[in-house]
Structure formats: structure tokens, C-alpha cells
Chains A and B, each alone.
Chain A
Amino acid sequence: MSAYFDIPSDLQHSYLGLIALHLQEALLPVLFGLLIALPIALVCARFGWLYPPVLWVTTVLYAIPSLAFFVVLLDYTGDSTTTVEIPLTVYSLVLLVPAIVEGTRAVSPDTVAAATAMGFGSLRRFVQVELPIAVPAIMAGLRLAAVSSISLVSVGAIIGNEGALGNLLHDGQIYHRNPLIVTSVVTTALLAIVVDGLLVGLQVLLTPWQPHGRRAARRARTAAAVEPATEAELRPGQEADAPVLEDAAR
């Protein structure tokens, strides 16, 4: 066992210390990304014409490879965790803005109209009505961001000693200790799976109104199979209502 968990002293961390450092380097950026994405998504939801250019910019940012991003930042932020955290924040942001905007856009117009009729302003409606309903879509983006962030931190090992668990890869190679490499890969993968599972759990807590579990999912699928017919029956009614609402808005 010690071949797997004796961490070389040049890393200056214990095994658990490396895990903590890895989680910090991976998840702080996701949190920052979420905090920056929310106001951007709010503005995009409010002013629809802003969304396509924002989407274009985020796609371009996502195309910058992590290694390239790290080395260009080296010149400004030096050999520090910030150099790894800034690109990961950008990648999280890029995944989260579309998730939030698409999620809030998918909220049924009836619900939005009801909230407006109750006197909700656009900010309060966004925070109290549209965001909670969009939680499943936002969580899907958040899970993707967290998992890819945990995987990408390891690349930081190439630019110096900023890869947390990824540093074990380099050490395993120079000291010819392959078990360290296995430890790094397995631990990183497990961290990603555990964090993903925790986010799924958080989603269950945040959306108590949604059916959960296998049986509920099967029931929901059966309902969905029946639904197209009922939806088609409802559709003419909705179409008849929509122009009235639009007129009222004008």
C-alpha cells in the first residue's frame, strides 16, 4: 500500500492534503464561474438580442486549450494556483451561461405571466421564479463544469507544480514509481464521481417538487409517453390564449 500512498516530500503535501488542494483548485473556479454567470445570464434573459453575441464569445473562450491558457497567464500571475484557477473559472462560466439562459427560457410562459400578474418585477421574477424552475438545467451545467474542472487541474503539473494530484504524475515518472501515477488517476476520477454525485444530491434537495428515484422516473416516462396526446389537445387552447395576452401586453 505504501507504494501507492507514500507521497514524495518535494510535493510538500500529504495524500489528503493533495486531495484538499485539488478540490480547492478545481471547485473555487466553478463557484466564481457561477457567481459571474448569474448576472450575465440575467442580462441575457432580459435583453434577448445580447445572447447570440455572448454565446459567440463564450464559444471562442472555450476553444482556448487549457495548457495554452495556463502558459500565457504564467507571464502575469506567475507559478501560483491563480494561474490554474483563472482558466478554470472561464471554462465554468462558458458552460454555465448557456445552461442558465436556456434553463430560464424554458420556463413556461404561463408561469412567467402569472408571476408578472402577481406584481413581480423582472429581477425578482428571475431570482424567485425562473431560477428555481431552471435548477435541473443549471445543475446539468454545474456538474459538467465541476467534473471537467477536476480533470483539468492535473494539467497544471506541466507548468510547474500547480497540478495538485496531477503533480504525482510527474513525480511518478521521474522517480519511476508507477503506483503514484495509478493513485493520481484513480483518485482524480473518484473525486469527480463523488462531486458529481453530491451535486445530484443537492439537486434533489433543491427541487423537492420533482419526482425522484427509479420508480418515479419510470412513472414520469410512462406519463411522457401518454402526454403527447394530451399536449396536442391542449395546444389549440394555448394558441387561442397567446394572442390575447400579447394584445394585453401591448
Chain B
Amino acid sequence: MNILHFLNTFFSDGANWHGQNGIPHRLLEHLQYSAIALAIAAAIGLPIGLFSGHTGRGGYALSAFATGARALPSFGLLVLMTVWLGELGTTPAMIPLVALAVAPILVTTHEAIRSVDPAPVDAARGMGMTSLSVLFQVEVPVALPLILGGLRSAAIQVVSTATIAAYISLGGFGRYIIDGLASHTYADVVGGAVLVAGLALATIGLFWAIGRLVVSPGVRRGC
């Protein structure tokens, strides 16, 4: 009741729909931070995870690294990077977001490749396929649902956590929450919270759609 009232106030306010502090602009900022962070994390995590999963090496080092990366508190890292680097655009926010996303991508990719049924992999080798084509034509297509699952959970965490970027005077939906708390405008706080949650749900939907498009029907049926 209370919350519905706040939501109505927030979304029916015309000032929230255009300009610098409008929902479309804040949405673009939020998407931009999340997409860049996820892209950097994937660029680090996917190749390493594919390589280590394919060769079966470095499992211990990877799990130790993942434990360390998970242990880093995102919010603390954000504040620390801000005081160390100064407010250099989005860099202080990117570092904790990338650190957050690398661990799930890396570990899931490694495990996904490792858990591919060895029979088709041996068959591919026996047919004379090179190591690289075994990886990209056999292991990756079979492991794709799991790899996408890792990317999805990384994306959800990044979208949720990008909210705190507003704490260091960046944009995104977190702006409404932080400014609303500071100025005691509760409608903005609730509106911002609902927007971020909605964006996280949209991310789940996006990855579901990507899965439908890129996962081979044969693999999907087996799941």
C-alpha cells in the first residue's frame, strides 16, 4: 500500500521521464556500466576458463583465485578505488564490478568444459580434429548452456551492484536511491529500487533468449 503509493508518485512525476535525471538517461548509464564491466570480465574469464578447462590444468590455482576474488567486498573496493584513484570517470566503479564478475565466469567456464562427456571429445580427436577445433566445435557447443549460466549470474550481480556506483557520484539507477536517501524523498528510493530489480529480471530474460538462439537444439534437449 505504502510502497504502491510511492511508486505511483515516482512514476507519474513527469520530471522523472526526461533530461539528465530522467529514467531513460539513467537506464542508458546503468546499461553502459554493466555492459562494459561484463565485457571486460568476459574478455578475461572466458579465454582463461576455456584454456584451463580444455587442458585440465590450473584447477587449483583457479579455485584459489576465485575464492580471493569473491572475498573482495565490492562496496569497500569501490570506496577504496575512489580515494586512491580520485573520481576518474568510471574507472573506480569498473574495478570492483569486473572483480565481481570474473570469478563466476572463470569458474563456470572451466567446470563446463571439464564436465563435457569425454566420449565425443575422444571421437573428435580420433577423427583427426586439431586441439582448437575440438575445443570450439565439440566442447564449447556442448558446454554452452553452462557457460551462459555463468555469464548470466555474473550479469545479474553486475547489474545489481552497479547501483552502488551512484555512491561515488556516477549515474545509473542507484542515483535515485542514494539521492532519495540523502534528501528523504522516499518515492525516489523505492522507484529506483524497483527499476534496478526490473532490470535484473530483464537480464535473466535476455540470457534465456540468448540461450534459445545459440544453444544447439540437440544439446538443449539433453539438458
Contact = CB atoms under 8 A, between A and B. Distances in A.
Interface of A: 59-60, 62-69, 71-72, 75, 144, 147-148, 150-151, 154-155, 157-159, 163, 165-166, 169, 172-173, 178, 181-182, 184-185, 188-190, 192-193, 196, 228
B196 interface: yes
B71 A181 contact: no
Contacts of B190: 71-72
A75 B76 CA distance: 25
A169 B76 contact: yes
Nearest to A71: B189
Contacts of B181: 71, 158-159
Contact of A166 (B73, B163, B193, B203): B73
Interface class of chain B by DSSP: helix
Given A63-B156, A151-B70, A172 B164 contact: no
Nearest to A195: B71
Contacts of B201: 60, 63
* Residue among A72, A165, A166, A188 facing the most chain B CB atoms (10 A cut-off): A72
Interface residues of B, number: 42
Given A60-B204, A67-B174, A68-B193, 17 more contacts: A63-B200, A65-B159, A68-B194, A71-B190, A75-B3, A151-B70, A151-B73, A169-B79, A178-B83, A182-B80, A184-B73, A184-B79, A185-B76, A189-B72, A192-B70, A193-B67, A228-B118
B177 A181 contact: no
A175 to B, nearest CB: 12
